Chain A
Amino acid sequence: MAGERPAWWWWASIGTALVVLMAAPSYLDIADQLDISIIFILALLALSMGFLWGQGGMLSFGQTAFFGLGGYSYAVLALNTGETTSAFFIAIALSMAFALAVGYFMIYGRISDIYLSVITLVVTLILEKGIRATSGDQYVIGSVRLNGQNGIPTVPSLQLPWNPGTELFIDGVFYLSAALLVLVYVGLRLLLASSFGRVLVGIRENERRVELLGYDARRYKLAAFVLAGGIAGLAGVLYGVWGNFVSPAMFHLNQAAQVVIWVIVGGKSWLIGPVAGTAVVQYLSNWLGTQGVGQVSLWLGVVLMIFVLVFREGLLPTAALAIAWVRRRLGRREA
């Protein structure tokens, strides 16, 4: 799959998805729009993790660090300046800058893959603890109190860049998060078909061979890490905009682990896997929540175990294998 340009049917699917998504709000009530927008936003977070892991071979356990940082940066900037467009972009840039610093240390330090997972997890946990400790009055950035574990409850909605008087309402957030999810997905898919993406997949397969061929693998890995940090940061900004709220829970271990679960359930070898995994798991946990089964996270744990043990490739690649198998059986019968 790596290296191939997307086929016509792929572009047709993207076009169809866009049409459906843009028409959807007219047929959905506000509550559904909210539920679905958050899935899009979390899917962006999962995509950033799944891209790094599935394509770059880097298992970052702490994409939530950039997610939370994006959300908090947006909140603080927008509240201080009263202007949301620049806050949106600067927050993403800050997430990327932080990913550059963390990634440089890990990748140029040539730490092993397992330590990359551990360090990213530790980074997000440190940020969480740090933010939680800011409940005192003295923790103020500009005019914004960080509020410790209570989070910042008054995160401004996005204003239209060309008309700052108008704020995005719930359907606006739906359109924006849907469009950005599609945009990021398409962008990453095209990136994988580019020279950069093909080298990245080579690094995942065999970093030593890539280097012996003369590529500086560290540059490619760092670029991928920074890009993924930016995508996670974007998800964080949208999360803040979605609920007008950011809190230390964005950095929390539970959140970090959920991202990994989404990616494992959906499958990491295809970019669409993390998106599907997020949708399925989020839908399932919402549904379980209404069924009175008690511990939702316990049941999710069971689902995860099933995937890790039985459907190792994740939902979509497993489904593809099943389809290929059925086709072969049918083909044999016809022959």
Chain B
Amino acid sequence: MTAPILETRALEKRFGGVRAIAGVDFRLEPGELRCLIGPNGAGKSTFFKMVTGQIPPTSGSILFQGTDISRAEKHEIGRLGIGIKNQVPDVFNGVALRENLWLAARFAHGAAKAGTLADAMMERLELSSLANRPVGELSHGQRQWVEIGMVILRDPKIVLLDEPSAGMSIDETNRTAALIREVNRTATVVVVEHDMQFIRQIATKVTVFHQGSILAEDSFDRIMTDQRVRDVYLGRHGGA
């Protein structure tokens, strides 16, 4: 077994009485494309936010390539090479698309190269015609791509994507899946999704969260036939 690129040990987050993450031991091997699924409120976004320093863990530890990052600042984690697309589009709404990408490229590659890299990324996302439009004016799907583009421009070692295909058309979703596979050629990727068709397209290994804990972890096909997983999802629908 290779050394994990990311590992959490007994990771826990409480919000008042709610145990949003209740002792998670998670391991991610370098180069993986992992999917994280689970019903609403399972703790997926909370988990991502802790890994990226957006919220501090209540207890437990997070190790990136062996170093403890559970108390590190957001920018330090960003510099180490963990990038995230948050669930809600998290971009610079008031400034132009190109400027959004420039800011991302500038940090990792310096001001001299940032312009060229931003232009190249716009081509890759097929958004070049919108270069000077404020990102706030773009569609939800386009903003998601801009955010993914910003994350990739940092050349991260780990890319965390929280519901990257939410609100996208089938065509857009397919393009997003292709983009994620491409990113996975150079980075370890973890994707949170609800859309099973989408997960089928990209997943190799799937982790199921339920009430803040890992319920199951296996290949996509085996997860789909796992009775516990079915109960969790059916239980949610039955209860709702």
Residues of A within 8 A of B (CB): 2-3, 195, 198-199, 201-202, 204-206, 208-217
How far is B74's CA from A107's CA once the two chains are assembled, in angstroms?
Answer: 15
**Cβ B79 vs Cβ A214 within 8 A:** yes
Q: What is the CB-to-nearest-CB distance from A326 to chain B, in angstroms, rounded to a whole number?
A: 22
Contacts of A216 in B (CB 8 A): 73, 75
Chain A interface main SS type: helix
**Cβ B75 vs Cβ A211 within 8 A:** yes
B95 in contact (CB, < 8 A): yes
The answer, among A205, A209, A214, for a CB contact under 8 Å with B108, is A214
Q: Which residue of B lies closest to A210 (CB)?
A: B103
B39 in contact (CB, < 8 A): no
Given A198-B103, A198-B106, A199-B103, CB of A208 within 8 Å of CB of B74: yes
Q: Which residue of B lies closest to A202 (CB)?
A: B103
B87 in contact (CB, < 8 A): no
> Can you offer 9 A-B residue contacts whose CB atoms are under 8 A?
A2-B95, A205-B92, A206-B90, A208-B90, A209-B91, A212-B52, A212-B77, A213-B104, A214-B154
How far is B74's CA from A17's CA once the two chains are assembled, in angstroms?
Answer: 45
Q: A212-B54, A216-B75 are in contact. List 13 more A-B contacts (CB 8 A).
A: A3-B102, A198-B99, A199-B103, A201-B92, A201-B95, A202-B103, A206-B90, A209-B90, A211-B73, A211-B75, A213-B150, A214-B108, A215-B75
How far is B150's CA from A206's CA once the two chains are assembled, in angstroms?
Answer: 13
Q: Which residue of B lies closest to A204 (CB)?
A: B94
Contacts of B92 in A (CB 8 A): 201-202, 205-206, 209
B93 in contact (CB, < 8 A): yes
Point out which of A201, A204, A211, A213 has the most chain B C-beta atoms below 10 A from its C-beta.
Answer: A213
Count A/B pairs, Cβ under 8 Å.
68
How far is B96's CA from A208's CA once the two chains are assembled, in angstroms?
Answer: 18
How far is B111's CA from A237's CA once the two chains are assembled, in angstroms?
Answer: 36
Q: Which residue of A lies closest to B114 (CB)?
A: A195
Q: What is the CB-to-nearest-CB distance from A216 to chain B, in angstroms, rounded to a whole number?
A: 5
Q: Which residue of B lies closest to A194 (CB)?
A: B111
The answer, among A195, A206, A213, for a CB contact under 8 Å with B78, is A213
Point out which of B74, B99, B104 has the most chain A C-beta atoms below 10 A from its C-beta.
Answer: B74
Contacts of B206 in A (CB 8 A): none
How far is B176's CA from A85's CA once the two chains are assembled, in angstroms?
Answer: 62
Contacts of B94 in A (CB 8 A): 204-205
**Cβ A211 vs Cβ B95 within 8 A:** no
Contacts of A3 in B (CB 8 A): 95-96, 99, 102
Given A198-B102, A198-B106, CB of A213 within 8 Å of CB of B90: no
B57 in contact (CB, < 8 A): no
How far is B109's CA from A195's CA once the two chains are assembled, in angstroms?
Answer: 12
How far is B95's CA from A208's CA once the two chains are assembled, in angstroms?
Answer: 15
Q: Which residue of A lies closest to B103 (CB)?
A: A202
**Cβ A211 vs Cβ B106 within 8 A:** no
**Cβ A206 vs Cβ B154 within 8 A:** no
How far is B91's CA from A210's CA once the two chains are assembled, in angstroms?
Answer: 9
The answer, among B54, B79, B93, for a CB contact under 8 Å with A208, is B54
**Cβ A212 vs Cβ B103 within 8 A:** no
Q: What is the CB-to-nearest-CB distance from A202 to chain B, in angstroms, rounded to a whole number?
A: 5
Report B26-43 residues with CB < 8 Å from chain A CB: none
Contacts of A201 in B (CB 8 A): 92, 95
B158 in contact (CB, < 8 A): no
Q: Which residue of B lies closest to A217 (CB)?
A: B75
How far is B93's CA from A291's CA once the two chains are assembled, in angstroms?
Answer: 46
**Cβ A206 vs Cβ B111 within 8 A:** no
Q: What is the CB-to-nearest-CB distance from B138 to chain A, in angstroms, rounded to a whole number?
A: 14
Scoring B residues 94 to 131 as 1 if CB is less than 8 Å from chain A, else 0, what string do you get?
11100100111011100100000000000000000000
Which 3 residue pairs are nearest across A and B when measured between Cβ atoms?
Answer: A214-B78, A205-B92, A211-B74
Given A212-B52, A213-B107, A213-B150, CB of A205 within 8 Å of CB of B78: no
How far is B150's CA from A169's CA once the two chains are assembled, in angstroms?
Answer: 55
**Cβ A195 vs Cβ B111 within 8 A:** yes
How far is B77's CA from A261's CA once the two chains are assembled, in angstroms?
Answer: 41
How far is B74's CA from A210's CA once the two chains are assembled, in angstroms?
Answer: 9
Point out which of B54, B79, B96, B107 has the most chain A C-beta atoms below 10 A from its C-beta.
Answer: B107
How far is B42's CA from A238's CA once the two chains are assembled, in angstroms?
Answer: 61
How far is B175's CA from A127's CA once the two chains are assembled, in angstroms?
Answer: 59
**Cβ A205 vs Cβ B95 within 8 A:** yes
B83 in contact (CB, < 8 A): yes
The answer, among B95, B96, B154, for a CB contact under 8 Å with A213, is B154
B62 in contact (CB, < 8 A): no
Contacts of A215 in B (CB 8 A): 75, 78, 107
**Cβ A214 vs Cβ B99 within 8 A:** no
**Cβ A214 vs Cβ B52 within 8 A:** no
Q: Which residue of B lies closest to A211 (CB)?
A: B74
Contacts of B107 in A (CB 8 A): 213-215
Q: What is the CB-to-nearest-CB distance from B238 to chain A, in angstroms, rounded to a whole number?
A: 37
How far is B79's CA from A47's CA once the two chains are assembled, in angstroms?
Answer: 34
Contacts of B214 in A (CB 8 A): none
